[in-house]
Structure 1
């Protein structure tokens, strides 16, 4: 059998692990790099999202502050107008004089369209606009009815529209209840043109691709930057689900698709304190993804280079270990191989026969050992020279290898012209037949006058199930040796069994 094959069968698993350990380690390192990249990807996507939220919140805080201050100034006008008109000295003045006082107040605030004071029934009592009022009865308006009920304390804001010189004009109406001596005396209203209010958003830098939307609690958009119609998309309704999400808390963020432009956006919102308004900043998701992809591209490239370097290193180390293992295997092969014949040497024979003997004893199985000796080898060597002798030994080794072909069989050269065969799980009769094939092969060479010099063989066989059974490896080998001596003494060119067994020696 091949000694290398047997070693591989006995130590193959550990050698495989040892050879491929660098590759396994490098693959593990690559897996760790990829896992780190994945965690890095998640971390930086969250970081990019948090950064977008922080930028949107910063914009919202600035705009909300501006809106709060603007509406606070509108409410201050109402308070001032109510205080002025309730003054006893001014209350006695003619209505047109009172109207002029209101007009002077409006001049100080460029975005205010007008101030109107309504009677308890909703008709116009005073107006900052001289001449005939655009509308003389506001009794059916939301901003009037809410103040009449008395349930509201403070200002009320509503969306309002009316016909102007250039068509329908949208306004924001802010009203306050007028009370004197505990009695309802009417409602003061300030009207702000929406287009003037929208102008406040013009100079706000919201970043490329972002949107800024001011939404009323009713679900209507007051203004949007940028707008689709160029007029702030006033009156466009927010979907009920989005409105409910905005009204659920005073501030927050969420991902959704914009109904106005169909883009996936990160929406960050905040309520304007004390007013029924919500400010929403929408950042395109692809803008967030672009920054994230840029970071991941850099990290991914570095990871790919690292994995490539690790792979190259792992396979180079594996190649070096393969070379080392092959060199060690070659040395191991040489240490247990007879250099001349290629069969196992005496050291290997001793290892295998001891191992197989223990196994045969443990399993109560067969183990046969054959000892072979070349007949008249010294005479052949002296007559034809050492080269012919070496060729004869190689011829014997070839005959042994061609007959003992099982993986478990072992042919060995014990020294000089003496050979041995270890035959596990082989009865004495089967061992005899195998040995006879070897003997007849050499006999044919020896008696061939046209062939190279050769010699016949004598052989002795001993088995573990001989009677009496050998008690040790040494006893087994000695029994085979004694059988060999009997073959020599009986005339050579024959095979003898250690135990008495009738076998045809044809």
Structure 2
């Protein structure tokens, strides 16, 4: 029933905060009716679907405690939300990106090593082919010198002239030698190649002539010089000593090797634009170089650093250094030409070695980086979509299991929880209680003050029942039009009576302010059933027993509490009820 005091004989409530509805102030601003509450939630939900908000739809009762079923939904959804919106997805994405980058870096590093290996193989191939050709030509020239020396030293008792012995071997390229001479002990030219008349030139100042005067060095290779016979043509002299019968110095036989021919051999080799190939004497002079920095092929130039020559003569292993006469960093591979004091050097510029690798690294690096960025953006987009989907799923579950008017669990949520708790209590062999709460006189309130006021009253009662229950495991739900249900797991009849009487008393002592300044209050009737589930009962049987107890409380005058247990008859309990009679047996 409900009570209001208006006019003579009506005592208006003082508006004591302890007695008043704690949400009455906020409720008084809601003049649009009960439908406005439902419409507000629906509008908020569809606004979320349109992307207008990332926050959960607010509860229509802003200051009410969060019901247990919503907390359960949030807890269940929180796991998915943490997996989606927490560190899991970014960490996994980062690991994937790091793995992709690691694989790409390893592949690029392997390709760089392969480029280096190919460069070494290419350099060694050049050394092999060019070195063998040079060694063969130098060997042929040396053999001709040796034959000429032998013929001159042995003499010819039959009248063979020395100039007739000095004929070029057909195996010698025509452009290799520019002259072949027999020089007297005083440095005068006695015989010129091909039997030509000797020029009046004295060569006693040449290093190869002085070397043979002092001793017999065998085959001697001179420093590069400009030939007096060929208009300053850069030349390298290969010579042998002519000894008299008594072993004394008797002259020199010399072959002038054209450095231009040697450079032409080097020009046949195609190396990179920044690479070079050169012939170097043990004296630190450049004999020929390709590509040449001048018209003479850097003839006679000194090495930039004597350390390069020392490393070539000492280790024999490839090394990296700057160019022979400056320039970019190069990989040097080299070999000596036979027994001669000549080194063939191939300097492959590291820029040329890694030119193709740099191009591939730029292309594949850019593609990999773009892939990683696209993957990160895609995962971020999917993550945001999953977060939104998870939030909408939680809202849909909340709306499906929540009473829109009161914010309490609805009948569907309550039935699921009742079935779950009955099974759990059966497994644990514990008792449980169910309270059905009916609002007395709600229809009269609707008729007298309108449905809007009735809805406000139901919201107030829902909050009051929720606060009166207390324990986290207990469930207060909207059961029907003007009925509420309270599920009390692991609670005996004594505890259920205590909770029920507290609900009845709290509701009776509360009131709700109207727009006119009046206050209305109401009472509730409560039916209790307590049992020990065995797992074979149906939840509907449990509810039916609570309904019977509720009907008995209402029939006894309302504002009452009536109960049933497995061994008792219904007995009312209220402010005007006496001691209940001895209950009769009742089967659950």
TM-score (structure 2 length as normaliser): 0.59
State how far apart, in whole Å, the 2-side matches of 1:356 and 1:277 are: 100
| CA–CA separation in structure 2 for the residues paired with 1:398 and 1:342 | 9
Aligned pair in 2 of structure 1 residues 262, 104: CA closer, same or farther (>3 Å)? Answer: closer
- Tell me the CA shift for residue 394 of structure 1: 2.3
Change (3 A) 1:255 1:107: closer
- Is this contact kept in 2: 1:4–1:329, CA < 8 A? no
Preserved CA contact (<8 Å) 2:279 2:344: yes
**1:208 to 1:446, Cα distance in 2 relative to 1, 3 A:** closer
Contact 1:369 1:461 in 2 (8 A): yes
* Counterpart selection for 1:280 from 334, 338, 345: 345
What is the total number of aligned residue pairs between the two structures? 481
Residue of 282, 307, 319 corresponding to 1:240 = 307
1:265 corresponds in structure 2 to 330
Whether 1:111 and 2:180 are equivalent positions in the alignment is no
Query: Is contact 1:64-1:279 (8 Å) kept?
Result: yes
Q: Deviations over 1:228-280 (max 9, x none)?
A: 5753353336433663256433xx64332236224222333343344332222
1:39 aligned partner: 106
Q: In 1, distance between residues paired with 2:173 and 2:547?
A: 133
Who is 1:192 aligned against?
256
| Bigger fraction of residues in helix | 1
Cα distance in 2 for partners of 1:112, 1:256 equals 35
Aligned residue in 2 for 1:412 = 477
| SS of the residue 2:137 aligns to | helix
The runs of 5 or more residues in structure 1 that have no matched partner are: 361-366, 464-468, 499-504
The correspondence for 1:134, drawn from 196, 203, 206, is 203
Cα distance change, pair 146–462 in 1 and its aligned pair in 2 (3 A): farther
1:217-236 map, 5 Å: 217-226=282-291, 231-236=298-303
Compute the RMSD of aligned alpha carbons.
5.9
Instruction: Identify unmatched segments of 5+ residues in structure 2.
Output: 1-65, 193-197, 426-431, 490-494, 565-574, 576-588
The one-character-per-residue Cα deviations of 1:25-67 (angstroms, maximum 9, x if unpaired) are 7666544543343234224333444454455445444432442
Which residue does the alignment assign to 1:395?
Answer: 460
- State the distance in 2 between where 1:487 and 1:49 align: 97
With over 3 angstroms needed to count, the CA separation of the structure-2 counterparts of 1:482 and 1:134, relative to structure 1, is same
Q: In the TM superposition, what are the counterparts of 1:351-362 in structure 2 within 5 Å? A: none
Aligned partners of 2:176 and 2:261 also within 8 Å? no
**TM superposition shift of 1:211:** 1.7
Are 2:131 and 1:67 equivalent residues in the alignment? no
TM superposition shift of 1:75: 1.0
Aligned partners of 2:527 and 2:547 also within 8 Å:
yes
Q: How does 1:335-414 map to 2 (within 5 A)?
A: 335-346=400-411, 348-349=413-414, 373-381=438-446, 388-399=453-464, 411-414=476-479
1:13 matches 2:79: yes
Which residue number in structure 2 is paired with residue 364 of structure 1? none
- State yes or no: 1:294 paired with 2:359: yes
CA distance in 1, matches of 2:256, 2:204: 15
Secondary structure of 2:223's counterpart equals strand
CA distance in 1, matches of 2:385, 2:378: 11
Whether the 8 Å contact between 1:147 and 1:187 is mirrored in structure 2 is no
**Change in 2 beyond 3 A, CA 1:46/1:392:** same
Higher relative contact order (CA 8 A, sep 6+): 2
CA gap of 1:161–1:143, structure 2 versus 1, over 3 A, is farther
